[in-house]
């Protein structure tokens, strides 16, 4: 029991590692690993995780595979006993597959091979703010927690997808994770690290309906990595946000006292993924890996960046009218 307590305490300060020590029901945890080949023809996402329902059904582990360029996905189910996370850092073994911040190894019916990740850009830790959620990381009753494993990294290695050899060497990757009870009732999420810029540029942005005690609030978090600097916009930084959702686009604007981030997200056809509800993987969401994000960053009223993020992940899910 004490070991589980210390493992969960350690995980608060290392958000990329497993948090579910001692959990038995109404709990999920999953990592989202996105990889894009250097020519941009292949955009894939791999989502390993664990599901512990509250309805009495047995827990199980899973790996979802998303082939963004073909708008299709598969859900592979494993026994919960096959889910073997490290108690020291982010490392996961699952049915002959492995996942860590330094790479992945896959042995699934439709995809096999290994990829190595280098030059990971991590979300900087601060006193009282171990990750992107800031001080909310310490609130025990949050419905869903979010963490960043790597905003941007380079890839080496090959995969065999449906019999086709794909060389990912020179490509780019991104990795994040979620854990808790359920995905939010409504949310918008977007991400890209494919911008025409000499230095690494990466964007992650979201807005979500957050239950809070007997009420709720609309929370938001965003990070824009540019020229070795992270620009943060979040509820806990007292930033402001403006969101508009249309049939083909979504506009998201964040404001801090000295900086403003403007995003125009262009929707693209997506594929259906399974999502958690009270720990059970019974929800459905649609995600695209072919969206486009037009981004502007202003500092003291001066535009310091303008560009378009390609191969963007985009989810607009749930009762989105609550968000605007």
How far apart CA 211 and CA 195 sit, in angstroms, is 34
Is residue 90 within 8 A of residue 14, CB to CB? The reply is yes
Beta bridge partners of 47: 64
Each residue's pLDDT tens digit, 20-48: 999 999 999 999 999 999 999 999 999 99
For the chain, give the secondary structure using H, E and C.
CHHHHHHHHHHHHCCCCCCCCCCCCCEEEEEEEEEECCCCCCEEEEEEEEEECCCCCCCEEEEEEEEHHHCEEEEEEEEHHHEEECCCCCEEEECCEEEECCEEEEECCCEEEEEEEEEEECCCCECCECCCCHHHHHCCCCCEEEEEEEEEEEEEEEEEECCEEEECCCCEEEEEEEEECCCCCEEEEEEECCCCCCCCEEEEEEEEEEEECCEEEEEEEEEEEECCEEEEEEHHHCCEEEEEECCCEEEEEEECCCEEEEEEEECCCCEEEEEEECCEEEEEEEEEEEEEEEEEEEECCEEEEEEEEEEEEEEEEECHHHCC
Express each pLDDT in 42-79 by its tens digit.
999 999 999 999 988 999 999 999 999 899 999 999 99
pTM score: 0.96
Structure tokens of 79?
């026994």
**Structural domain tally of the chain?**
1
Report the chain's mean pLDDT, rounded to a whole number. 96
Mean pLDDT in residue range 9-16:
89
The Cα 180–Cα 50 span in angstroms is 11
Tell me the C-alpha distance between 279 and 24, whole Å.
Answer: 10
CB 9 within 8 A of CB 1: no
CA–CA separation, 205 and 187 (whole Å): 11
Residue 5 clears pLDDT 90, i.e. is over it = no
pLDDT score of 2: 61
pLDDT (0 to 100) of residue 89: 94
Q: How confident is the model at residue 6 (pLDDT cuts 50, 70, 90)?
A: confident
Domain limits for position 245? 2-322
């Amino acid at each position: 029991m004490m070991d589980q307590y210390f493992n969960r305490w350690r995980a608060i300060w290392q958000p990329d590692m497993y948090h579910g020590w001692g959990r038995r029901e109404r709990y999920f945890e999953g990592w989202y690993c996105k990889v894009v080949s250097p020519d941009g023809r292949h955009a894939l996402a791999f989502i390993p995780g664990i599901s512990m329902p509250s309805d009495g059904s047995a827990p199980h582990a899973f790996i979802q595979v998303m082939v963004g360029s073909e708008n299709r996905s598969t859900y592979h189910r494993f026994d919960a006993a096959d889910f073997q996370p490290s108690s020291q850092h982010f490392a996961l073994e699952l049915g002959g597959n492995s996942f860590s911040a330094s790479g992945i190894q896959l042995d699934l019916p439709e995809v096999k091979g290994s990829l190595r990740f280098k030059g990971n850009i991590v979300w900087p830790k601060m006193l009282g703010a171990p990750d992107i959620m800031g001080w909310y990381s310490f609130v025990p009753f949050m419905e869903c927690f979010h963490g960043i494993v790597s905003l941007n990294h380079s890839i080496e290695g090959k995969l065999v997808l449906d019999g086709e050899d794909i060389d990912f060497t020179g490509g780019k990757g991104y990795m994040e994770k979620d854990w808790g009870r359920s995905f939010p009732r409504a949310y918008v999420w977007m991400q890209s690290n494919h911008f025409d810029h000499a230095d690494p540029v990466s964007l992650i942005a979201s807005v979500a309906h957050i239950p809070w005690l007997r009420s709720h609030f609309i929370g938001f978090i965003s990070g824009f990595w540019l020229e070795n600097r992270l620009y943060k916009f979040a509820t806990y930084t007292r930033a402001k946000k403006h969101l508009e959702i249309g049939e083909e686009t979504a506009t998201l604007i964040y404001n801090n006292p000295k900086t403003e981030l403007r995003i125009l997200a262009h929707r693209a056809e997506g594929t259906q993924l399974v999502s958690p509800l009270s720990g059970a993987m019974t929800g459905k969401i649609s995600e695209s890996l072919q969206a486009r994000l037009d981004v502007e960053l202003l500092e003291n009223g001066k535009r310091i960046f303008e560009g378009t993020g390609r191969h963007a992940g985009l989810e607009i899910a749930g009762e989105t009218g609550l968000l605007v």
